[in-house]
Amino acid sequence: MDLSLTPEQEQFRTLARDWVDREVVPHAAEWDRAEHVDLKIVRQLGELGFLGLGIDEELGGSGGDFLSYCLMMEELGRGDTSVRGIVSVSLGLVAKSIQAHGTEEQQVRWLPGLTSGATLGCFALTEPGTGSDAGNLTMRAVRDGDDWILNGEKIFITNGTWAGLVLCFARTGKEAGPKGITAFLVPADAPGLGRHEIKGKLGLRGQATAALTFEDVRVSDTDRLGGEGAGFTIAMSALDKGRIAVAAGSVGLARGCLEAAIGYATQRTQFGKPIAAHQLVQEMLTDIAVETDAARLLVWRAADLVDRRRPFRTEASMAKLFATEAAVKAANQAVQVFGGYGYVDEFPVGKALRDARVTTLYEGTSQIQKLLIGRALTGISAF
C-alpha cells in the first residue's frame, strides 16, 4: 500500500482543514453548550462539495475516492465530531445507499438535495429493543396495494429532527431475522411520522439525535429501496463503510486532543519549567501520538481496500475498534495533561472526552467489532 497522498488529495485535505479551523473550531464549545450546531454550515458543506464526496457528478455529487472521504472525516472529527456525524450519516449512510441501491427515479429525486445541503438524511435502523441485534428489529411494514403501511419506533437517530429524508428499515416478511427486513425512503413530512429530539446527552450535544415514531405511515412501493427482504444487506453494506468513517473521525478527535495537549503543556509552567519538560507528561503525549498515527494507518488501509474494490469488512472493524478506543484514551490523557483546566468546558479536551465515548457504541460497539474480527479469523460465528 502506497502511504503517500496524491496532490489532489493533499489539496483537498488542506481545504477541509482550513474550513474546519475557520468555521467549526471557533464555535464548537458554543454549539456544545447550546446543544445545537448552527445549521448554516450544512449549506456550506454542500457548497464545498463535502456532502457530495463519492457521489457521481451527474447526480449532483463531487466525485472523489474513499480515502479523500476519510481525510474529510478526520478534519471534521478534529473540529467537532458532531459536525462529522451530520455528514457521515447524511452522505455516507443515506446518499451513498441511494446511489448504490436506488432506482434512477429515487436518485434524481433525492441526491441533488442531499449533496447540496438543501436537505439532510437520517438512517433509521436502531430501535428501543434492538441495537447490536439489528437483524431482529420489530418495526413492521405491511403491504396495502401499491403502498406500504409502516408502524414502529426508532431511537438514537442522528439528524432525526433535521432530516428531510428518513432511510428506514422495517420487517416486511413473516420470517424472523435479517431476511425479512426491507428498506424504505420516507419523506420526513409523511403523515404519522413523529420526531422527538433526545436532550441531555453526555456528548455529541451539537448534533440532533432523535426518537422517531411511525403510526400508520403510508409510503408508495416506489419508495422501497432495493428489493423486498434486501434491507438488512443494504444496512450492513452502509455500516461497513460507515465504520471506517467513524474511525477516521476518531483519528481527527485524537489528533485534536494531541494538538491541544501539546499547546497547553508547552505553555503551562510548574516546578519552574513547562510541564512538557517533565518526562511523565511527555509519556502521555507520546502515547496519544503513537496511537493516533497507528489508528490513521488502519483507516487508510481500509480506505485503500475500498478504493481498489477489495474485501474490507474485517479491516473496517479493526480500524473502527482501534481508532475509537484510541480516541477515548487520547481524550482522557489530554484531560490529565490539562489537569483541573481540562475539567472546564472553556478548554476543548473535556468535550472531546464526552464526544469520544459514544464512538465505541454506535455503528457497532467495540464488542461487536471484536466478534466480527474473531469470526473472520476463525471462521466460527459467535452470534
Of all helices (H) and strands (E), which one includes residue 366? helix 366-378
Q: How far apart are CA 174 and CA 167, in angstroms?
A: 21
Structure-block grid coordinates of residue 301: 488501509
Phi, psi (rounded to 5 degrees) for 55: -95, 140
Give the active site residue among 127, 291, 325, 363: 363
Q: How far apart are CA 206 and CA 29, in angstroms?
A: 9
Based on the residue annotation, tell me whether 363 is a catalytic residue of this protein. Answer: yes
Residue by residue, DSSP assigns 295-361 as: HHHHHHHHHHHHHTT---HHHHHHHHHHHHHHHHHHHHHHHHHHGGGGGSTTSHHHHHHHHHHHHTT
Q: How far apart are CA 282 and CA 27, in angstroms?
A: 29
- Cβ–Cβ < 8 Å for 158, 85: yes
45: left (phi over 0), alpha (psi -120 to 50) or beta: alpha
Q: How far apart are CA 225 and CA 94, in angstroms?
A: 11
Place of cell 494531541: 258
**Secondary structure of residue 151 in the 3-state scheme:** strand
Q: How far apart are CA 112 and CA 108, in angstroms?
A: 7
Q: How many beta carbons lie within 10 A of that of residue 282, not counting itself? A: 13
β-pair partners for 63: 53
Task: Collect all residues with Cβ–Cβ distance below 8 Å to 291 and sequence separation of at least 6.
Answer: 254, 322, 326, 329, 330
Residue by residue, DSSP assigns 213-273 as: EEEEEEEEGGGEESSTT-HHHHHHHHHHHHHHHHHHHHHHHHHHHHHHHHHHHHH-EETTE
Residues classed as catalytic: 363
